[in-house]
Structure 1
Amino acid sequence: MPTVTYAGTAVTVNDEGFFTDPAQWREDMAPLIARQEGITQLTDRHWQVIKFMRHEYEAKGTGPTVRVLGKTSGVSVKELYQLFPHGPAKEAAKIAGIPKPRGCV
């Protein structure tokens, strides 16, 4: 498995760049990952989704789908696509340091 260095820490990722061990993630890594995804600044709304993604992963073992995100995160589907334009569930999961959610292409 490849490794990537974020904020001075080497982490193991899969071929698509998703963390293989979410415990390696730290909040200071999120802005660096976001920049790689083309998101220049993480707003409070981004953080709301990122923290929700991590909470759902810890509780259920997988990240939520876009539909679930839109219904339960407090952020509408329309806004999710504005915040994470390249696929909200997939992009937010990557920034949150969790594996790609089931159902994401």
Structure 2
Amino acid sequence: MPNVTYAGTQVSVNDEGFFTDPGQWREDMTPEIAREADIDPLTEQHLRVVKHVRHEYEEKGSGPTVRALGKSSGVSVKELYELFPKGPAKLAARIAGIPKPRGCI
């Protein structure tokens, strides 16, 4: 497993860049992870989705699918794809430091 450094802290990630231990994630890492995922600038709307994804993971033990995210986050599926063009559930999960959601390729 590779190690990367975000906000001055070394963390373990898998080959796709997802944290192997979600407990290592801190909110101040978010801008660096987002830039690495080609999301720059990171807007308040992005942060809203990322925080929601993180909350869902903490509550349910897994990140939401795109469809569930569109229903529960207050952000439409269309807007989710505008914010996270390469896959909203997958990118938001990666930025939130949680495992890749089920069903994501």
Q: Which category describes the TM-score, using the shorter chain as reference length? A: over 0.9
> Structure 1 residue 93: deviation in Å?
0.4
> Structure 1 residue 2: deviation in Å?
1.1
Structure 1: give runs of 5+ residues left out of the alignment. Answer: none
Runs of 4+ off more than 2 Å:
none
SS in 2 for 1:18: coil
Match of 1:57 in 2: 57
Match of 1:73 in 2: 73
Amino acid at match of 1:98: I
SS in 2 for 1:97: coil
> Structure 1 residue 23: deviation in Å?
1.0
* TM-score, structure 1 as length reference: 0.97
The CA deviation string for residues 25-81 of structure 1, in whole angstroms up to 9 with x for no partner, is 111111101111111111111111001000100011110000000011000000000
Matched, 1:36 2:36: yes
SS in 1 for 2:20: coil
Q: Aligned residue pairs: how many?
A: 105
SS in 2 for 1:86: coil
